[in-house]
Amino acid sequence: MFDDMQVDIASNEEAGRIAVPGGTVSLRRADETDAPFLFDLFRGHTGSRLRMGGLPEDVIEQLVAMQYRARVQSYRDRFPDACWSVIEAAGVPIGELIVTGEPGALYVVDIALNPGHRQQGIGSALMRTVMAAGAARGGVRAMVAANNEASLRMFRRLGFSETNDEDGVYLELQWQPSADRA
């Protein structure tokens, strides 16, 4: 599953299918055919925030497209070995998980679910899978927007603690396995 700093949780058969309340979800490596879904997922998250500002829809679409391109390029530049996975339920894409390895931990670059699949235990189940994989490396780190209360609640419930709040926009969170689990 690990190759130096590379991580591919989706290729691990045990981790590929993950039990969640009410069934299972699966992870598979994202490829170029997933681009429309991944853009729509991003649009759903970002567009809703921009709509609150009362901008015209055509301006929102331009901003979302620009931000998406910048996000993808930034992630590829900063995390060249990251594993980009699509989360599926019954063969239908419902989210994205991006994870990379770093010295002493796995780093969750991003995790996102379609609105209809949030608050159902799916994110927690995925993170427990990442945590199990990260335990051998010394833990798991993530950055979460300070105003993303639902994600912060999930991470805290899973035992993550805040390690840094330099800019007030994002919180750095970390989970370390306890001595009895390591």
Asked if residue 85 lies in contact with residue 9, where contact means CB atoms within 8 angstroms, the answer is yes
Using left for φ > 0, alpha for ψ between -120 and 50, and beta otherwise, residue 21 falls in beta
pLDDT at 142 > cutoff 50 = yes
* Residue 182 falls inside a structural domain: no
Which CATH number is 76's domain given? Answer: 3.40.630.30
Q: Evaluate if pTM is beyond 0.75.
A: yes
Q: How many structural domains comprise the chain?
A: 1
* Residue 74 falls inside a structural domain: yes
* Residue 181 falls inside a structural domain: no
* Residue 65 falls inside a structural domain: yes
Domain interval for residue 82 = 2-175
pLDDT, one tens digit per residue, over 48-81 is: 778 888 889 999 999 999 999 999 999 999 999 9
**Spatial separation of the C-alpha atoms in residues 148 and 86, rounded to whole Å:** 21
pLDDT at 132 > cutoff 70 = yes
* Residue 104 falls inside a structural domain: yes
**Spatial separation of the C-alpha atoms in residues 175 and 182, rounded to whole Å:** 12
- Mean pLDDT for 137-143 is 95
